[in-house]
Amino acid sequence: MSCIRKRPKRTKSEEVIYQEQCRKVAQENGKRLGLEGDADLQFLLSGGELTKVKSNSWKKARFYKLQEDCKTMWHESKKTFKSTQTFSIDDIDSVRQGRQSEGLRKYTDAAVEDRCFSIIFKGRKKNLDLMASNVEEAKRWVTGLEKIIHNLRSLNHQQKSEHWIFNCMRKADKNADNKMTIKELKHFLRQINIEVDDTYAAMLFKKCDKSNSGTLEGTEIKEFYDLLTCREEIEVIYGKYAQTDSQMSDRDLLNFLLNEQRESVSLEQAQKLISKYELDETAKQKKRMTKDGFLMYLHHEDGAIFNPAHKGVYQDMTQPLSHYFISSSHNTYLLEDQLKGPSSTEAYIKALMKGCRCVELDCWDGPNGEPVIYHGYTLTSKVLFKDVIKAIKEYAFKTSEYPVILSLENHCTLEQQKLMAQHMTTILGSALLTHPLGDQMPTNFPGPEELKGRFLVKGKRLNKLDAAFNNNSMVEVDSVSEEDEAADSKENGQKAKAKKSKIKLAKELSDLVIYCKSVHFSGFEHARDNQAFYEMSSFKESKAMNLAETSATAYIHHNMDKLSRTYPAGSRTDSSNYNPVPLWNAGCQIVALNFQTPGKEMDLYQGRFLPNAQSGYILKPEFQRDPASQFDPVNLSKGSWLQKKTMHLMVISAQQLPKINKEKAKSIVDPLVRVEIYGVPADNSSKETGYIENNGFNPMWNETFQFTVHVPQLAMVRFVVEDYDTASQNDLVGHYTLPFTSIQNGYRHIPLLTKNGDVIPSAGLFVHIMILDAQ
């Protein structure tokens, strides 16, 4: 139920009752959020006028307010046919105070800095740039919104579920009388993605309508909720282990953890779980876990599929840079496709906040002597180089403190190159690495730990790195061959040129290249004999894939002490991505993908960099770092890499899957689950369940699969939930990817992500996993 919509005509007394009802609903939801009586929440619920900024000429006053569900923002719209005047708090990525967006910097004056703020949305939805009438109001909007976002994200699974279900009930309660008729009940069931026949709906209704009044109210609604959310599969598991007065004692829980979850834990650790998740104080004192406490445990990180021991930085971060997979973006400046999409500093911020550690800067001469960044020979918009560097400095180390590589694709004249160097040195300051670490010429890379908080420039260099130690300043300007990728972009552009085109390089820019000097690749033998450790090559995907398939072992050895960057072919004008896994198998560190393009490839990327605090650095397996290794992912032989495992997996159930077609109220999901394994060619496989008709709320499969994995350290597992369609391609409902080595055994919940990689608040999969050494 929404208090702001096309209002039916009400008498004065009806309006008073209605508004009081709205106030109570808001109070209830505020309490659920842990913000009962909070002044900032009250401020948002009252709402206020803000100026929406879209351009120099488009700045208009609009009224904004938080609705009584405490998770939807309403705003007035002057568009006649605008159907949605709301957005969900769940869709907000962050709120930025001040002129922290391109739009506000461009269309407002520095004098109003303190009155401005931006709402940044997840996915591709445009920012909402706003200006309050005074500084105090702007602060209150930002504080209030941040508080709600934080509290909504901090709710446990049960609270999220309740919040969602009760608000769906509100919407179904058309006449807002706090009672539910059978017609409203059926409307509600459709809203929560479950289609039931009339007989079942009538049976449910009758069971709960204890007063025989023909409506459900108060405790009857609570009973209906309990009936609806009862998890039969949990009842069975809990019943099997709850051997102490129908409850789980600490020893019963220990028994469950040892036998089902295959965890090496003590009685003391079982007791810690009880005190962490049990809500009933009496049970807690008796060292017992009730069914609610057990469900709470299963829904939190201890009961999740992803091993919580891998959540923080757990890997050795002192090894040479070449020993890590590094999260890397291609065409980082683009928000959409590479032919006509907008270039934006926002794209850099999004990538860096996702833990990306290598960003690409495609630099061209711009007007007024200022270099710009855009996709050459295309219609993509341009963004100032200095604005990009400012945004990178601001957001580089918010998600991860480990080094960021600035991969320059330089098409600029000497004058603008000098300005590029000047902008980087003045804006990045001491964080920019301008000299090798130590006072002697290095023979190997430093590690991510030593380079914390530093920026490394990747690009062409006029001389060898040892010139940094002997004050060799003779070469001021010289011609160097363009980076392979720069030449490729010309090949694919309108102005095709000879492959080995040359550009003049300014000493000021050259001197900033320390550990990532770009050189042309002329074969593994040539690289071994002639290339210094800091000299790295870039490979177009076709060449990289070919080397990974035909010369994998040589490629792995090359990547032990040198860096390789791979990038998508220029022919991918839609900014689609290639599969990164074969290149990781070959030890390539900087496998650059288009972060702005969602899909299976980005799912695998997000999964690969999920462990190790999402720091953007993952230590390669030992057999990809040891010079004596003869590992070949394509033709497997015996070696330390061969640790054959059998994964027994039962897909049990799913909970609260979102509707795919929100426009059609009657559209219900027919879900199926597919489990995919990506790794060395021998491990690639995929299996799927049947589909369940008309039930996205609590579908149950109980289907069992078996997978054999030969090289677990390189394997990734992707879970996909789709809406089955007989006539067309299945729609994605949600997905989740993680490394095989980060999987926990036993009964586990799997969170689900949207196409863009954001968590779907109350949805999840429930599985049982057993990974054993293969015979």
Measured distance CA(457)–CA(455) in Å, rounded: 7
Q: Give the residues across from 383 on adjacent strands.
A: 373
**What distances in angstroms separate CA 68 from CA 122, 216, 395, 460, one per listed residue?**
23, 22, 34, 57
DSSP codes of every residue in 41-68: HHHHHH-EEEEEESSSS-EEEEEEEE-T
For residue 195, the 8-state DSSP code is -
Measured distance CA(154)–CA(138) in Å, rounded: 24
Which amino acids are annotated as binding site for substrate, given as ranges? 52-79, 458, 460, 538, 565
Query: Taking the alpha carbons of 630, 635, 636, 637 in that order, is the dihedral positive or negative?
Result: negative
Taking a C-beta distance cutoff of 8 angstroms, is the pair 101, 148 a contact? Answer: no
Measured distance CA(649)–CA(9) in Å, rounded: 57
Measured distance CA(34)–CA(40) in Å, rounded: 13
Measured distance CA(234)–CA(250) in Å, rounded: 18
Taking a C-beta distance cutoff of 8 angstroms, is the pair 465, 532 a contact? Answer: yes
- Residues recognised as catalytic: 330, 375
Measured distance CA(457)–CA(358) in Å, rounded: 10
Taking a C-beta distance cutoff of 8 angstroms, is the pair 543, 569 a contact? Answer: no
> According to DSSP H, which parts of 173-280 are helical?
182-191, 198-208, 219-229, 232-241, 250-259, 267-277
Compute the half-sphere exposure of residue 462: CA atoms within 13 Å on the CB side of its CA.
20
Sorted by sequence, the CB contacts under 8 Å of residue 654 that are 6+ apart come out as 671, 673, 696, 698, 699, 721, 763, 764, 765, 766
Cα–Cα nearest to 764, from 752, 748, 746, 755: 752
Residue 622 tokens read as: 């030992």
State the pairing for strand pair 86-88/72-75: antiparallel
What single letter denotes the amino acid at residue 676? E
Count other Cβ atoms within 10 Å, centred on residue 230: 10
For residue 743, the 8-state DSSP code is B
Measured distance CA(49)–CA(27) in Å, rounded: 23
Cα–Cα nearest to 412, from 380, 385, 378, 379: 385
Q: Is 7 exposed, middle or buried (0-12, 13-18, 19+ CB in 10 A)?
A: exposed
